[in-house]
Structure 1
């Protein structure tokens, strides 16, 4: 009998229980033991759910209160000194590393003020991990037993699990050197790290675990020779240790064949590969197996919500069985199901025809089990027939195809993706029009989404208040935000986005071709969950989406007001995209819809327009080559199609966050002003890379995902460092990202200090000119 396996399950709870209780703990409303109990309850429910679905290999240690990589940093004592000097509990140290901590002194506790570690995208997903930060003084040792504890929790419930660990090579390769150890290459720490892996693996074996899933996702990247060589060193060392469980080396999100030599012949029990993303690698990876090694076939998509095509998957798994034998094959999810919503059955408002197209994490359990049964000769004919009917219905659905949209995309030409004049000419007109000071200040878009805003949005959605009442409320919130920005002296304003639930969902709800969920939440980072809309068909814009609010905001101030839009690539990447047409086609459809919106904003007198593309780096193919080249071409084209149909004096902004950016990629967009996340960057070379960027740029000055408030002096020091290698006349002053998740007290203080710092540097520059 071919076994079924799941690589990881969502840890947020079916109704966001983890978010609600984690935030309650941060706010002091519940104690640590209450939060830990919630985590234990979610884990138990997840294990029981998988057991009841018939999954053979169920994961443990896939749960996390914040991030699975941060869990490992805490477990292995990879804790920079700045977090250890405050005598925090282990849980509070963990959260301080993830989100920072600023706390006033009390009679019994000292003051705490520490920033968070850097947070970046997990490969090409919208999940963010907390980057391990190493120094010459890092001392690896076990500080706990989380993987063992959770394995034993499941065992007490009568459920045998396979613990999951991020592997040693990927853990180091995904990390960075701390600011006091910039000459350190993390991969050189491998020999010091391996003893703690051996220790935790021995403890797992002693607890009864016979097999461990050891994730090495960096195998789908372009790896330096020293990282490739590290795999043999690592796994040969582990193999020599006594009392270890079997290891299943696990890769996902792409093709491992360029790095296959590095893992061929390793002393592991088996491998897992992602055949959803790269089915073409089957022959190569099979050829690399020894006769004893098993093959886990990742065939149920862990990254998207479309129902599995059983006929195609069964055929693929049978081809794998024909090559290695049924006794050596496992049917699995392609990756952890962390990236999918928990349960489709919780969606009560979806149109039945569209709902039949989808499969969420809970439903994917049944898919894995059904495919494993089918290739084992078990009669699952009823399930196969129902699945075939669903696949046929989707392929033939009128929801999917809009000939008018397809025709419009076919007529896109070069003239639609180029501004009328180069940036220097545009800049001259914009200087005259806006007359902004040196170091112009602005924010990225959103302001705090207060409880009052959420209550009124829900009342309107439920029909408890009229459209007129809701519009009046939104206008009052916009006016509060505008007056606040005028009061503290910001130069280019935003309307605060009180009417918006999410930067993609809001626009998706106004576009044709999208579907939406009620409980389709997915973790983005920490307690930040998103509810990605689903692109179900060709996309178009029936009417204006944001003009009314932007025009109102501009009407109540003499300062420039930014119109705020989400760019085409981000609308695509932060949705669940279609899998039946290319992402390029979907992005271009979105670009045309946004082009109409940009032109409508300009015509209505809103002539500073920000089109955010925080996901453009996320979408970059993981390896250099033709696919990446093509992506960069159509991603940039999509942005320019959306933004190029405006006058030279209309100023186009864009924003990017939480990833390692290449200035050349941003340059191709030809935005007049860009803002990027920078507050967690320690590398002076990163500033230097952007110093030759031809247009204007704002390097984000404070971390909006942290509750801490930077002082004016901190902003002055930060700007001063930047100006050592970045020209003053091109530098905008702004936060890292939008302020939606922050409270008003933090927002007011942080922005006030930021503006004061900008004024400080204006005075310095004026003194130089005097």
Structure 2
């Protein structure tokens, strides 16, 4: 990656209305069978083109082929019963009806590998692929088998490692693990959360990232954020151990959030994906808004390690809003790139 300040998204982009109902998480597919398979590929192509038109440097699939960033992965595994549902608290914030772990979990077949190969055929740009992290996976399930969050996390880490190795072989340049749960379960993060994440990246030669955010712009998350006070210091709990870990890139939320920028100092030496686009608002940032966030971050991270990005996924936003935000991200990064080379 030779571009200075290479831009990327944290993950999802809105789906076209012919594929699934827009501006909605967990939106069911509008097609099925062979038609759905083809429509997902078309949406992936479109999503790639949106990123390319906006000048995004590290592209992704926009998560067009998955309904949800965690559940779609779990759906492909053995040992989880989707018919048998229980209601659990997700990240101590909201109740959701989730599937049940009824036996030993295993990966019978690759989950996203064909999609990744398809994306690789479409572009020469660096590709980033997102997978759910072990702790966030266990937080989206009811476990009737292992009866231990830690045990289940280690099993998921092994499965994620199998998938990650095949994604790397398919030509993925950066594999990102989404761990919003790291901003909630601090003791677990330090006891075994980062260790299970390291198990998931074992033996990988491509770059690895962990994305830790405050969630999509849905009501449960925005209500929770209101309770966090004027300074959000959650990262303080996990960053010291992440700094010691083998993860290459740490992705965090900085735009319109109350995260004190100096917390980045705690991961000195790592590459940092700085969220410079607020995904919980329909207001499209100006390039100058983005540039300001990036300049602020540059006080605590070297320019060659700064990767401008979005705070989180943009699936719940209108396509025109997401498009505007992508353009702002690119333009803001270009401003700062110009200042640095001057």
Aligned ranges 1:124-203 → 2 under 5 Å: none
Give 1:724's match in structure 2, choosing from 299, 306, 324.
299
What displacement does 1:522 show? 7.1
Give 1:710's match in structure 2, choosing from 266, 273, 285.
285
Change (3 A) 1:614 1:669: farther
Quote the Cα distance in structure 2 between the aligned partners of 1:507 and 1:732. Answer: 26
> Match for residue 436 of structure 1?
2
> Match for residue 219 of structure 2?
none
Quote the Cα distance in structure 1 between the aligned partners of 2:60 and 2:160. Answer: 19
> Match for residue 163 of structure 2?
597
Quote the Cα distance in structure 2 between the aligned partners of 1:632 and 1:577. Answer: 22
Matched, 1:690 2:268: no
**Deviation per residue, 1:367-399 (Å, 9 max, x gap):** xxxxxxxxxxxxxxxxxxxxxxxxxxxxxxxxx
Quote the Cα distance in structure 2 between the aligned partners of 1:750 and 1:504. Answer: 24
Give 1:646's match in structure 2, choosing from 204, 208, 216.
204
Quote the Cα distance in structure 2 between the aligned partners of 1:524 and 1:583. Answer: 14
Q: Is the 8 A contact 1:504 1:575 kept in 2?
A: no
Q: Does the residue aligned with 1:442 lie in a helix, a strand or coil?
A: coil
Change (3 A) 1:451 1:754: same
Quote the Cα distance in structure 1 between the aligned partners of 2:194 and 2:207. Answer: 17
> Match for residue 267 of structure 1?
none
What displacement does 1:695 show? 0.9
Aligned ranges 1:79-98 → 2 under 5 Å: none
> Match for residue 673 of structure 1?
249
> Match for residue 699 of structure 1?
274
Change (3 A) 1:702 1:760: same
What displacement does 1:569 show? 1.3
Moved over 4 A (4+): 517-525, 527-531
Q: Does the residue aligned with 1:446 lie in a helix, a strand or coil?
A: coil
What displacement does 1:611 show? 1.6
Quote the Cα distance in structure 2 between the aligned partners of 1:696 and 1:479. Answer: 28
Quote the Cα distance in structure 2 between the aligned partners of 1:563 and 1:580. Answer: 29
Change (3 A) 1:530 1:765: farther
Aligned ranges 1:728-743 → 2 under 5 Å: 728-743=303-318
Quote the Cα distance in structure 1 between the aligned partners of 2:299 and 2:128. Answer: 29
> Match for residue 213 of structure 2?
657
Matched, 1:495 2:64: no
What displacement does 1:691 show? 2.3
Larger helix proportion of the pair: 1
Matched, 1:482 2:48: yes
What root-mean-square deviation, in Å, do the aligned CA atoms of Structure 1 and Structure 2 show? 2.5
Quote the Cα distance in structure 1 between the aligned partners of 2:184 and 2:143. Answer: 14
What displacement does 1:509 show? 0.6
**Deviation per residue, 1:90-124 (Å, 9 max, x gap):** xxxxxxxxxxxxxxxxxxxxxxxxxxxxxxxxxxx
What displacement does 1:680 show? 3.5
What displacement does 1:556 show? 0.3
What displacement does 1:520 show? 6.6
Q: Is the 8 A contact 2:88 2:141 kept in 1?
A: no
> Match for residue 68 of structure 1?
none
Change (3 A) 1:531 1:734: farther
Quote the Cα distance in structure 2 between the aligned partners of 1:453 and 1:705. Answer: 23
Larger strand proportion of the pair: 2
**Deviation per residue, 1:521-560 (Å, 9 max, x gap):** 77869x9985433322221111101101111011101101
Quote the Cα distance in structure 2 between the aligned partners of 1:531 and 1:671. Answer: 32
Quote the Cα distance in structure 1 between the aligned partners of 2:142 and 2:235. Answer: 23
What displacement does 1:453 show? 1.9
**Deviation per residue, 1:6-41 (Å, 9 max, x gap):** xxxxxxxxxxxxxxxxxxxxxxxxxxxxxxxxxxxx
What displacement does 1:451 show? 3.3
Matched, 1:617 2:191: no
Gaps of 5+ in 1: 1-434, 622-627
**Deviation per residue, 1:134-170 (Å, 9 max, x gap):** xxxxxxxxxxxxxxxxxxxxxxxxxxxxxxxxxxxxx
Q: Is the 8 A contact 1:449 1:498 kept in 2?
A: yes
Q: Is the 8 A contact 1:592 1:641 kept in 2?
A: yes
Aligned ranges 1:341-420 → 2 under 5 Å: none
Aligned ranges 1:317-328 → 2 under 5 Å: none
Quote the Cα distance in structure 2 between the aligned partners of 1:475 and 1:518. Answer: 31
Change (3 A) 1:471 1:729: same
What displacement does 1:744 show? 0.7
Quote the Cα distance in structure 2 between the aligned partners of 1:761 and 1:696. Answer: 17
Q: Does the residue aligned with 1:513 lie in a helix, a strand or coil?
A: strand
Quote the Cα distance in structure 1 between the aligned partners of 2:196 and 2:136. Answer: 11
**Deviation per residue, 1:212-256 (Å, 9 max, x gap):** xxxxxxxxxxxxxxxxxxxxxxxxxxxxxxxxxxxxxxxxxxxxx
TM-score normalised by L of structure 2 = 0.84
Q: Does the residue aligned with 2:80 lie in a helix, a strand or coil?
A: strand
Aligned ranges 1:181-330 → 2 under 5 Å: none
TM-score normalised by L of structure 1 = 0.39
Name the structure, 1 or 2, with higher relative contact order (CA <8 Å, separation 6+). Answer: 2
Q: Does the residue aligned with 1:454 lie in a helix, a strand or coil?
A: coil
What displacement does 1:699 show? 2.2
